[in-house]
Amino acid sequence: MITITPKRKFDVPIQAACINVDIFTGKTLEDIKKLAITEGKENLTLNDAFNITEDKTVETPNITLIGDFSKVKRIGQGMKTGEIIINGNAGMHTGEKLAGGKIVVNGNSDGWTGSEMKKGLIEIHGDAGDYTASPFRGTDTGGMKGGIIIVDGNVGSNVGCYLRGGTIKIKGSAGRFLGHHMSDGTIYIEKNCASRAGTFMTGGKIIINGTIELVMPTFTIDSIKPKVKVDATLNAPGPFYVFLGDIAEHGTGKIFALKTTNPALSTYEKYL
Amino acid sequence: MTEILIKNGFVVDPLNKIDCQKMDIAIKNGRIVEKVNEREAKIIDASGLTVMAGGVDLHSHIAGSEVNLGRMLRPDDHVKDAVRKTALTRAGTGYSIPSTYVTGYRYSKMGYTTVMNPSMAAMKAKHAHEELNDIPLIDKASFTLLGDWWFALENIAKGDLVECARHIAWMIRATRSYAIKIVNPGGLESWGFGRNVHSIDDKVPNFDLTPRDIITGLAKVNTMLNMPHTIHLHTNNLGVPGNYKTAIETMQALESVYTGDKPIGHITHIQFCSFAGDNWAHFKSGAAEIANYLNAHNHMTIDIGQVTFADTTTMTADGPFEFSLYELGGHNKWVNSDVETESSGGIIPFHFKKKNAVNAIQWSIGLELSLMVKDPWKVAMTTDHPNGGPFYHYPRVFAWLYSRKAREATLKKCNKKAQRKSLLPTLDREYTLYELAIITRAGTAKMLGLKNKGHIGIGAEADVAIYNINPNTTDIAQDYKPVRKAFSNAIYTIKDGEIVVKDKELVTIRPGRTMWLDVQTKEPCRIDDELKRKFKEYWTIEFDNYPVTDHYIKVPEKITIQASV
Amino acid sequence: MTEIIKSVVCPICGCLCDDLEVTVENNEIVKMKNGCAVCEAKMVHGYKSDERILEPHIRKNGKLVPVSMDEAIYKAAQILTDAKYPLLFGWTSSASETQHVGVELAEELGCALDNCCSVCHGPSVMAIQEIGIPTATLGQIRHRADLLVYWACDPWSAHPRHVERYTAFTDGRFEKSEFKEYVQKLKGKASKKKVEAAIRRTQVRYQPPPRPQTAIVEAPPPTLAKTGRKMIVFDVKKTMTAEVADYFVQVEPNSDYEIFGAMRCLVNDQEIDVDKVGGVPVEYLKEIVDAMVNADFGAIFFGLGLTQSVGRFRNIEIAIAMTRDLNRKTKFVISPMRGHFNVTGANTVFAWQTGYPFALDFSQGYPQYNPGEFTANDLLRRGDNDATLVISADPGAHFPKSSIQNMMKHPLITINPDWNAISRLGDVVFPAQWCGIEQAGTAYRMDSVAISLKKVVEAPKGVPSDEEIIKRILNKVRVIKAQKTRKDVTETKNVENKKI
C-alpha cells in the first residue's frame, strides 16, 4: 500500500492523473516519487507536493490518500484495476474513465467524478459535485457505460447525463437535469429530486423515493407499479407513478416517483 | 537565401515527364535552378529517396466561418487529439478539424505545400482570410461561393452574362479569392425557405432560371474571365441515391460550353454524387457509369472525396444535404448556417464505419472511380477534408490506390453486403509513383492553372518533398505499409527554397502566401448609386465595409488576369 | 477642421451597425447620424470622459501612482511569470487582432484564458456543442422571416437597432416591413403612457401597482394567423419590445425550459398531460406553435434571460431542439443576441487557434476546455488562480463578491480605457485606446460576420492600443522566462558541481 499525504495546502489546482494503481504497479517507491504532476503551469514530481510512504505488509487498498485532495484533479483517471481510498475530499475528474477497480472517497468529491466511466465501483461517503457520471462537453455518445457509483450524500446538477449503462445510487437528494439524455442504466435517489429530471431521455430508468419537484411536460403517465427493481440486490417498494418519456425525443425512458411522497402527482391519475 | 542541392534522389516529376530518374535538384532564391555552386550550397543527400514537388491539394476545408463553427461544435473531437506547444510550434488540437497552426504543421509534415480552401462565403471572407493567415508553412487560396449569389442569378436569368462576368470579377477581387465555387446551384437559394431542387432542370423558386442555367452560365463566365481554374462544382442532389444521373446530366450540360482546348468544369468530391440505386436499401455504386463518361469526354476533371473510415465532421455549404443527412439519424448535432444573398451551410459529425453497408460502399466508390478513370490527369486525390476523413489520412488513400493488397485487406473488414457489391475485386490497376504524383501535385496544379507549382522543373517554385521510398528496391504494391508511413511524414519538406521539415521534424516556421486573383475586365463593374442601393437592399453590410482589405492578408500573392470581356 | 466619415462601425453591441455617419471636428466626435441612443452616448460623449486613464499606474504602498510604460510592462510580465496559475480574462471589447495575441500570451504562460462570454452567452456555445444550431446571418432573416420570436431579451433597450435593421421594421426581398403598423400602435401607447404619467404626478405619494403573483397571459390575438410579419415576445416582464409585439407571453420566471418542452411536444403533434406550463395555458401554446409551423421562415432570438437563468445552457439546448423540430415542418432559425461588440470574435479567434471557444487552460502545454472548471468565475470562486489580468472588461462591476474577493487576494493587472470599477482595484493599471473609435481592428457581429472597425479620432498622446500592450507583455514574459531558464541551468550546474 502506498500512502500519500499533501506536504502543504494547495492554492492552485494540481493535475495528478498518475495517482493510479495501474501506473504505480511494478514501480519502486523512488520511481513513484518521480512521477510527473503539474501545479498550475509548474511541472513537479509527486514528491514535490506529497509525502509518499509504502507499507509492504498491506495489499489492499493499493493507494491511500490522506488529507485534503479537493484541489487535486484526475485521481485514478482511466484506472483498470486496484483500489484507491481517499480519506478526505477529492478534486474534479476523480475516477474519470474508470475501467475497473474501486475508488472510495471518505469525504466529498467535486465535479465530473466517474465521468465516462466504463466499469468498476466508486463510493463517495459525502456529497458529489455537478456532472458526476456525466461525459465531457459535447460528447453525446460518451456517457457512463457501466459500473456502479454510490453517493451517501447529495449530488449536484447534471448528474448521469448521457448515461448508457451502469447504476448510480444516491442516498441524498439530486439537483436539476438528473439523467439528462440518458439512454440506458439506472439512477436511484432515496431523497428528493429537483425539477427537469430525465429530460431528453430515450431509455433507462430514474427511481425517486422522495419528492420530485416537477415532472416535465414532456413526460406522460404510464401506470402505477407496486415496486421496481433497482439492481440485483435491491427492489424498491412502491407504489410508484411511472412516467414515460421524453416524448419529444420519442423516448421510452421511465421515471418512477413514489406515490406516498408525491401527492401533487395525483392529478395525473385521471389519465390512467 | 541559401542555396540547396538535392543530390541523387529518384525524381518523380510528371509535368516534366520525369519518372523515377536519379538526378539532382538545385534551388536558389526560392526557385528551382539549373545548378548551384556545390561548395556553397547546402547539400541534401537524397540517395535512395524519392523527390517530388510539394503536394498541391485542391479541395480541403481548412479555414473560414463554416470550418470554425465545426471546430466550436466539437470539443469531443479535439479532446482526442491535443497538440503540445514546443519551443518552435504553437499548441492546438485535432482531430477531424485541426486548429489553424496544427493544420499547417501537419500538411507540411506530409510534404504538402499548397492547399485550396474551397468554400468561402463572400460575406464571411474576412474571417476566412484571418484564419488563413494563421495557417503557417503552406500557400493557400480560397474559392468564393457564387452559385446562388443573387447578382449572378439575376444576371443569368436576364441573359446578361457579360454584366454577370463583371460582377463576378468584382466579387473575386473583393473577397480576395481564386475561383468560382458552385454548390448545389439553385438548391441553396431554395433552402432559404427550407426547400431544395431535385434535378438540374427544376425551377429555382423566386428566380426565373434552373440549375442548368446557372452551371452553364457560370462556366461561360469563367471562360470569359480567363480564370486559371475551371468552375468548381458541387452538384445538385449530392448524397442522394441515384444521383450519378444528376452528375452525368451536369457534365452533359457543360458539353455545349466546351471549346476543345482545356477542361471547363471540375466536379468536386464526386464520390458523393456517384450513388446508384433507388434508395438507401438498394444503395450501390454508380462509379462505372461516371468513369465511362469521363473516359469518353475531355471537358471535365474530378476530385474524389475519398472516405477513410474516421470519426469525422461533415461540413458543406450544401445546407439541405446536411439536413437530409441529419434526418437519416444517428447524430445528435446539426448545424445549419445560411448566409444572406449568397449561400448556406451545414455541419454534422459523422462516423464512417467499415461495418456500415452504405459507408463501406462509399469507400469503395471513391477507389473505383480513381481506378476506373483511365487518365490520371483528370483525377485529383482528396478526402474533401474533413468530410470523407481528415487530410492527414491521405497516405491511407495512397496505399489503397497503389496496392491491391492494401485494398483487399481493408475490404475484408468491410460490411459483407458492401463486399459483395464492390467492384474493387475486379480492378487490377495499381497506381505507380508517377501516377500518384499526378493526382497529388502535378495534375492538381495543372487543374488550378498554377504554372510554377506541382513540378520541379527549372523556374518552378522551390516546393519540394522528399520521401523515404526507394523505387528501385521497394515493390510499393507489396510492401505498402512502409511506403504509406513514408508518405505520412516526409524526410524533408522545402517551401520556397527553405527547409521547413528536416528528418521528419519541423525546423522552421514561416508564413505561407495567400494567392488571389485580380481579374481585370475590359470595362470594370460600374460602381454607381444604383449598385450601392441594391447592395444596401441585399446585404446588411455597407458597400464600403464589404470588401476584404489588404489588412486581412499577411503575405499576399496577387495574380493579375486579363479577362476577354 | 470638420470631417464627415461614413460607414463607421458602432463598437457597442453585437449588432455592429456599420452605417454610422460621424462628424469629427478637431480630433473630436461632435455629431453622429444613424446611431442609436446607446451608440451616441459612447461615441459622442462617453469616450471623452474625465475618467480616462492617460498613463500606466502601479500600486505602491497601497496607492496607485503613475509610472512609465516600461516599468508597468515589466511589472506585469513579472507578476504573470511568477504566478503559478494566472487567469487572463476579458477580451470581448477588444479587436480580434488583440484577442489573437492574447491566446499566444496564455499559451506562453501556461495559464487559464477566458472571455466575458462565460458570463453572457457561453451557455449558448455550450448548448451548440451539445446539439448544434440551425442559424442564419441577420440579412437572411431580414429578407425572409415572417415570424419573429424574441425570447427573454429586450432588443428595444439592449440592441436598439436590431428590430429596425435586421428584423420586423426592415424591408427584405420577400418580406416587407411592418413599420407603419407598429408606429401607429406605438403612438397610441405613447399617448396612453403620457396620460398615465400625468395622473401619477397628481398623486402625492405614488404607490406602484402590486405585482401580480402569477403571470397573466392574454389569449393570442387573431393577428397571429395573418400573413406578413408577426412578432411574438416571451419574457418574464413586459419590456419595451413586448409593447410593440403582436403578442406578448408573460412566462413565470425560470420556467422557460418547461415551456420549450411542452412546445416541442406540440410541434411533434403529441398530447400533453398538463393544462398549464410556466403560467401559460397549453391551448395558447398550441396556437403559437400553429403560427410557428405555418410560418414560411421563422426566427427565434434569445438573450441572457435564457442563458443566465435556472437551467443555463440546457435552456438553450431545448430551444435549439425545438427549432430543429420545427425545421421538419418549415424553415426556422435561432440566434443568440450577443452582447459586447466582439464577444463573438473572442469565441471565433480562440476557437480557430485552439479548437475551443472559451474556458481554456494551457497548464498542460496544450489547450484544455471545460466550462465550470476553467471559466473565470469558477476559478475565482474556488480561488484556483494566483494572479489575474483583466482586459477590456469590468468584472469589478459584474462579478459576484466572492469572485472579486478571491481576485483581490492576488496581484491584478488591468487594461482598460477608463477608470472603471476593476481598474481602480488593479495593482498594475494600463491605459488603452477605445477600440473602434481610436483604434481600428476587426469585430465579429452576433451572426459571426467579420466587420472592420474604423479609427475615427486619434487617441490621447501616449495611450497605446491594448494589442500593443499585450504584445509588449508577451515579449517581456519571453525575456524573463529565458533569463529564468538560464538561471535555472546555472543553478543546477552549481549544484551538480558541488555534488562532485
pLDDT given for residue A234 in this prediction:
87
Please say whether the dihedral angle defined by the alpha carbons of residues B210, B216, B218 and B221, taken in this order, is positive or negative.
negative
- State the smallest CA–CA distance between residue B536 and chain C in angstroms: 10
**Residue C367 three-state SS:** coil
Q: Phi, psi at residue A159, to the nearest 5°? A: -90, 135
Q: Do C314 and A42 touch (CB under 8 A)?
A: no
Do C91 and C393 meet the contact criterion of CB atoms below 8 Å apart?
yes
Residues C73 and C163 in one domain: no
Name every residue whose Cβ is closer than 8 Å to that of residue B166 and which is 6 or more positions away in sequence. B521, B523, B524, B525, B526, B565
C482 shares its domain with C348 = yes
Mean pLDDT, residues C460-474 taken together:
95
Amino acid identity, position B55: G
**Residue in chain B nearest C135 by alpha carbon:** B337
CB contact under 8 Å between A11 and C257, yes or no, is no
Within-domain flag for C90: yes
Contact flag C107-B85 (C-beta cutoff 8 Å): yes
Q: Which chain B positions have a beta carbon within 8 Å of C353's beta carbon?
A: 90, 92, 99-101, 134
- What phi and psi, each to the nearest 5 degrees, are found at residue B85? -75, 145
Helix ranges, chain A (H): 21-24, 29-33, 46-49
Residue type, A253: G
At position C431, the amino acid (one-letter code) is: P
Residue C96's nearest CA partner among C436, C437, C459, C458 is C436
pLDDT digits (tens, 9 = 90+) for C276-315: 999 999 999 999 999 999 999 999 999 999 999 999 999 9
Q: How far apart are CA B68 and CA B74, in angstroms?
A: 10
Task: Assign residue B454 a region (left: φ > 0; alpha: ψ between -120 and 50; beta: otherwise).
Answer: left
Q: Are both C447 and C375 inside the same structural domain? A: yes
Give per-residue pLDDT as tens, C127-159.
999 999 999 999 999 999 999 999 999 998 899
- State how beta strands B50-53 and B464-467 pair: antiparallel
Residue finishing a domain among C336, C354, C387? C336
pLDDT of residue C195: 55
Q: Is the pLDDT of residue C492 over 70?
A: no
Q: Which residue of A has its CA nearest to B331?
A: A140
Our CA-based measurement puts residue B432 at a distance from the nearest CA of chain C, in whole angstroms, of 37
| Coil, strand or helix at C369 | strand
Closest CA relative to residue C120, chosen from C370, C376, C387, C383: C376
Distance CA B63, CA C216 (A): 50
**Nearest-angstrom CA–CA distance, B338 and B121:** 10
Exposure of A251 by Cβ count < 10 A (0-12 exposed, 13-18 middle, 19+ buried)?
buried
Q: According to the model, what pLDDT value does residue C49 have?
A: 83
Task: Assess whether C106 and C129 both reside in one domain.
Answer: no
Mark whether C105 and C164 lie in a shared domain: no
Q: What are phi and psi of C4, to 5 degrees?
A: -110, 120
Q: What is the pLDDT of residue B305?
A: 95
How much is the average pLDDT of B347-369? Answer: 94
Q: Is the pLDDT of residue C497 over 80?
A: no
List all residues 6 or more positions away from B57 whose beta carbon is below 8 Å from its beta carbon: B107, B112, B114, B115, B116, B382, B385, B391, B440, B444
Say if C312 falls within a structural domain.
yes
Do the Cβ atoms of B109 and B506 come closer than 8 Å? yes
B189-194 mean pLDDT = 94
Same domain? For C97 and C241 the reply is: no
Q: Are the C-beta atoms of residues A246 and A225 closer than 8 Å to each other?
A: no
Task: List % helix, strand, coil for chain C (3-state, nearest 5).
Answer: 45, 20, 35
Counting residues of chain C whose pLDDT is more than 70, the rounded percentage is 90
What is the pLDDT at residue C458?
A: 94
- For residue B376, is pLDDT > 90? yes
C143, C158: one domain: yes
Band (pLDDT 50/70/90 cuts) for residue C206 is very low
Q: Are residues A162 and A132 in contact, defined by beta-carbon separation less than 8 angstroms?
A: no
Contact C450 B332 (CB under 8 A): no
Give A-chain residues touching C264 at CB under 8 angstroms.
Answer: 218, 248
pLDDT surpasses 70 at C226: yes
Q: Is the predicted pLDDT of residue C494 greater than 60, yes or no?
A: no
Q: Is the pLDDT of residue C204 over 60?
A: no
**C195 and C101 in one domain?**
no
Sign of CA dihedral B97, B98, B100, B105: negative
d(CA A192, CA A260) in angstroms, rounded, equals 13
Nearest to A13 among C257, C371, C384 (CB): C384
**Whole-structure pTM value:** 0.95
Cell of C430: 494600463
* Residue among A181, A130, A122 nearest A152 (CA): A122
For chain C, the distance separating the N- and C-terminal CA atoms, rounded to the nearest angstrom, is 76
Q: Is residue C163 part of a domain?
A: yes
Domain count within chain C: 2
Q: C445 falls in which pLDDT band (50, 70, 90)?
A: very high
Q: What pLDDT is stored for residue B564 in this prediction?
A: 92
Average pLDDT of every residue of chain B:
94
CA distance readout (Å), B264 to A133, B152, B446, B527, C120: 56, 18, 13, 30, 50
Query: Would you call C143 and B340 a contact, using CB atoms and an 8 Å cutoff?
Result: yes
Chain B residues closer than 8 Å to A136 by CB = 75-76, 79
Over 80: is that where the pLDDT of C185 sits?
no
The pLDDT score that the predictor gives to residue C184 is 63
Mutation target to probe the B interface, by most B beta carbons within 10 A, among C21, C137, C444 is C137
Positive or negative: CA dihedral B529, B534, B540, B546: negative
Under an 8 A CB cutoff, do C136 and B68 touch? no
At residue C77, φ and ψ (nearest 5 deg) are -65, -35
Q: Which of residues 54-73 of B touch A (CB under 8 A)?
A: 73
CB contact under 8 A, A136 and B76: yes
Helices (H) and strands (E) in chain A, counts: 3, 17
* Nearest residue of A to residue B311, measured between CA atoms: A141
pLDDT at A141 over 90: no
Instruction: Select from C311, C336, C361 the last residue of a domain.
Output: C336
Q: Is the pLDDT of residue C499 over 50?
A: no
Q: Minimal Cα–Cα distance from B79 to chain A, Å?
A: 9
- CA distance linking residue C337 with residue C442, whole number of Å: 19
> What distance in Å separates residue C44's CA from the closest CA in chain B?
21
CB pair distance less than 8 Å for C448 and B124: yes
pLDDT in tens, B254-282: 999 998 889 999 999 999 999 999 999 99
Q: Is C36 contained in some domain?
A: no
Quote the distance between the C-alpha of residue C365 and its chain's center.
29
CA angle, corner B259, sides to B255 and B264, nearest 5?
60
The DSSP letter of residue A266 is G
Q: What is the CATH number of the domain that holds C437?
A: 3.40.50.740
The mean pLDDT value of chain C amounts to: 89
How many whole angstroms from its chain centre is CA C395? 13
Residues C157 and C269 in one domain: yes
Please tell me whether residue C150 adopts helix, strand or coil conformation. strand
Determine the Cα–Cα distance for residues B165 and B156; give it in Å rounded to an integer.
Answer: 10
Q: What is the pLDDT of residue B530?
A: 84
* Cα–Cα distance, B92 to C103 (Å, whole number): 11
Contacts of A199 in chain B (CB under 8 A): none
C239 near A187, Cβ under 8 Å? no
* HEC string for C254-292: CCHHHHHHHHHHHHCCCCCCCCEECCEEHHHHHHHHHHH
pLDDT at res. A2: 93
Residue C5 lies in a domain: no
- For chain A, the chains sharing at least 3 beta-carbon pairs closer than 8 angstroms are B, C
- The answer to whether position C22 is within a domain reads no
Surface of A (234-253) touching C: CB under 8 A: 246-248, 250
pLDDT at B436: 96
CA distance A219 to C271: 10
Grid cell listed for B199? 434535378
Instruction: Report the mean per-residue pLDDT for chain A.
Output: 94
Query: Is C146 contained in some domain?
Result: yes
Please compute the mean of the pLDDT values over residues B67-87 and round it to a whole number: 94
A138 touches chain B (CB under 8 A): yes
Residue C181 confidence (pLDDT) = 66
Write out chain A residues lying below 8 Å of B75, CB-based. Answer: 136-139
CATH 2.30.40.10 segments of chain B: 4-53+452-506
Chain A residue with minimum CA distance to C272: A217
CB C363 within 8 A of CB A39: no
Residues 6+ apart with CB under 8 A from B557: B139, B513, B514, B515, B516
Query: Do C142 and C253 sit in the same domain of this protein?
Result: yes
Asked if A136 reaches chain B (Cβ–Cβ under 8 Å), the answer is yes
Q: Of B477-481, B550-554, C242-246, where does mean pLDDT reach its minimum?
A: C242-246
C495 in a domain, yes or no? no
Nearest CB among A71, A138, A248 relative to C268 is that of A248
Out of B73, B75, B332, whose CB is closest to A136?
B75
User: What pLDDT, in 10s, does the model give residues B435-470?
Assistant: 999 999 999 999 999 999 999 999 999 999 999 999
Q: What is the pLDDT of residue C211?
A: 53
C342-387 pLDDT per residue, tens:
999 999 999 999 999 999 999 999 999 999 999 999 999 999 999 9
Task: Answer yes or no: do C355 and B335 touch at CB < 8 A.
Answer: no
Q: Which long-range contacts (CB under 8 A, 24 or more apart) does B356-361 make?
A: B356/B415, B357/B283, B357/B415, B357/B417, B357/B418, B358/B280, B358/B283, B358/B418, B359/B307, B359/B309, B359/B415, B359/B418, B360/B414, B360/B415, B360/B418, B360/B419, B360/B422, B361/B283, B361/B284, B361/B285, B361/B418, B361/B421, B361/B422
Are C260 and C315 within 8 A, CB to CB? yes
Closest Cα of chain A to C353: distance in Å? 19
- Which domain covers residue C170, as residue numbers? 122-201+212-336
User: Can you give the pLDDT at residue C201?
Assistant: 53
Of C273, C304, C336, the one marking the end of a domain is C336
Burial class (CB in 10 A: 0-12, 13-18, 19+), C262: buried
Place B331 in a pLDDT band, splitting at 50, 70 and 90: confident
Distances (CA, A) of B47 to A1, A161, A224, B467, C233: 57, 58, 81, 11, 73
Quote the distance between the C-alpha of residue B312 and its chain's center: 17
C253/C271 same-domain check = yes
Q: What is the mean pLDDT of residues A190-213?
A: 94
Q: What confidence tens digit (pLDDT) does each residue in A29-83 have?
A: 999 999 999 999 999 999 999 999 999 898 888 999 999 999 999 999 999 999 9
Strands, DSSP E only, in B391-439?
A: none
User: Scanning every residue of chain C, which has its alpha carbon at the shortest distance from the alpha carbon of A131?
Assistant: C372
List phi, psi (to 5°) of C434.
Answer: -75, 115
- Name the residue among C110, C270, C314 with its Cβ closest to that of A247: C270
Q: From the CA of B334, how many Å to the nearest CA of chain C? A: 5
The sign of the torsion formed by the CA atoms of B226, B229, B230, B233 equals negative
CATH number at C195 reads 3.40.228.10
Say whether the peptide bond before residue C222 is cis (omega within 30 degrees of 0): no
- The CATH class of B4-53+452-506 is mainly beta
d(CA A121, CA B446): 61
Subunits in contact with chain B (3 or more CB pairs closer than 8 Å):
A, C
pLDDT band at residue B234 under the 50/70/90 scheme: very high
